[in-house]
Chain A
């Protein structure tokens, strides 16, 4: 005891802080096409290596290579590109709208567009997502009307959520999009519950849960893994590792060793790590996991390796905690540019078509915005009646709430 060395306390630190020059040259990025594609029913023990690599399809030259390539046609890829471009332009307009005081708050997806946009295309109608606030790509790629999203952001009279919810916490049941909670991680176990219900009911539909790297620290994340593994629930458990949780780098949630995907191993859940900025890879892995779920083989854990290129939200300034140029140095590149390069390489796309598409999409987004703003923004135009504030607390309004509503005079 007496000659025991003094213990020391360990706190993980990111390698780079403001002022440092970003350099990711020591980060090993597996070559596109180099990771095998196992059969969906392969034993989880046999595919543990997939949690420590990165499944990639698009190589540096924009070619689609390896066993995970080929899940989408050129036409589908062009559509996917348009979805990502739409999300980016949508974000851009809404960031500006927030700065102009048209709403209180906004959260963008810059750099992460491929994840939700490509994933959405691997699901079937009727499947249900339990998203976080950073999966609006599911709505855009699912054809949800942009003007409706903007009405929610503006809390105006046409807001489907009646002005009650913070901007971007959408809910769209018919689009397989569960009501987004402001409380992190709660949805992860709920996705498992939905999937269990589908199995209990002898249904064919599957669920997808979503969570950020930082939020995997919550107990609900672990509850989801236990339930999913115990009941072999038909669910895809998605971890979007965008490297940051507000100002906190991913190492605080992950520790210094292992990967987020590898968390699944303790639960015997097949766990894959995929290049989240590679539209083709995301889609292929999502397809693989969806097939497992649909064939009653149980859950899959997927970690999408990506990078949050923008601030956490409109309330955040990342230059206070990470180097300004970090996102440009990020080795997995930009998902839009990578898919664009691929489509140009295959001859399905061109710079001219891209420029033209950008103009068309911008016009569509602006048209949707005009439509929404005609109704109102947070502080102008028409809003849900304050009466709405008392509705939906219960199915039937109890007397005390009736009394309170009466007191307001509405």
Chain B
């Protein structure tokens, strides 16, 4: 049995009748519902988001419940969606918009980087941009290069943006509530491979469902999880594995298979980053492996590695290693050769342990 500690939406004392079992899709939908019910300034829109409820069904039922002024379909224009959200935020609303796939956010990038991210700074706080931009990320669904990308580093590199990547239904709900409540723009990356069940990277095994996972027990109502707090999902002393999103589950599987007593940290938010949690762990274990699905070069792992060497240098017993997607576009047929699965992680755990 792996030692497990969790801090999340579900506080130990409140378990019971106010918990519901949800998939990640349902948890995201529920977060929207709670936020919209609580604050009529929250508006939700995006491509296919209104009547249909989104191609992944994350906004299903919201238009029927709150009306088309609060939840509506947008034209296929990502720059339009984010640009309009910036304008609405300037007015005083709190838009939470969906980009259908992270791979389609590029037309919106100017609005995100030059506008949303800098509005507070350039107007000296006169205008602010409390918007949430949700988008499904990551691969594992044979989606090819335009339904598989993990562009988090393109956001973490931008001053003024917060970037969140939940790994389970509990966190998805709590973090989305916090993101909507946040006074600044938040990029909310949803690992699509986790929408309907956890995924440990063993693509040849039967698909799992959230229903049997304790992480699908989601607190009802308003239960934000503060941005900037990592979660130690497995305690251990041999090495520290840093991961987020889908890779949390893949890393846990790899750790189990490697036979090492690794500590696995789910970062949950990349900006703001829980540096204290990372540093405390690596100072204790003296070894660190970073895992992400995004391409290696200039990935967020590079930032993590720099932070670890700066803060833990005298405690390190091995070089910090990274396991990541190769520096190629995301291929279709070769998906499982591209995806940094358990085998590659185990190999790197060994390398960190043997160094």
Contact = CB atoms under 8 A, between A and B. Distances in A.
B337 A219 contact: no
A217 interface: yes
Nearest to B50: A11
Interface residues of A, number: 49
Nearest to B146: A182
Interface in B25-53: 47-48, 50-52
A243 interface: no
Contact of B52 (A320, A390, A408): A320
The prevalent SS among residues of B at the interface is: loop
A275 interface: no
Given A219-B79, A253-B76, A155 B68 contact: no
A315 B328 CA distance: 26
Given A9-B69, A164-B332, A404 B327 contact: yes
Interface stretch (B101-109, B115-123, B225-233): B101-109
- Would you list the 4 A-B pairs with minimal beta carbon distance, nearest first? A182-B146, A163-B333, A166-B144, A217-B75
A389 B52 contact: no
Contacts of B50: 11
A163 B76 contact: no
Interface string B294-338: 001100000000000000000000000000001111011110011
B52 A247 contact: yes
A294 B75 CA distance: 34
Given A165-B145, A181-B146, A393-B327, A104 B332 contact: yes
Given A166-B143, A214-B76, A217-B80, 8 more contacts: A217-B75, A248-B52, A321-B52, A378-B142, A388-B334, A389-B337, A393-B329, A401-B328
Contacts, number: 127
Nearest to A213: B76
Nearest to A384: B333
A219 B107 CA distance: 8
B48 A11 contact: no
Q: Which of B52, B78, B147 has most A Cβ within 10 Å?
A: B52
Contacts of B52: 246-248, 320-321
Contacts of A13: 68
Contacts of B51: 17, 247, 321
Interface string B118-162: 000000000000000000000001111111000000000000000
10 contacts: A9-B68, A11-B50, A163-B331, A182-B145, A183-B146, A215-B76, A245-B76, A389-B326, A389-B328, A410-B337
Given A11-B73, A217-B77, A218-B76, A247 B331 contact: no
B333 A378 contact: yes
Interface string A395-410: 0000011001000101
Contact of A165 (B55, B80, B332): B332
Given A163-B332, A408-B337, A169 B76 contact: no
A311 to B, nearest CB: 12
B333 A252 contact: no
Contacts of A390: 326, 328
A90 B338 CA distance: 31
Contacts of A156: 333
A145 B76 CA distance: 33
Contacts of A214: 75-76
B334 A104 contact: no
Nearest to A220: B107
Contact of B73 (A215, A252, A393): A252
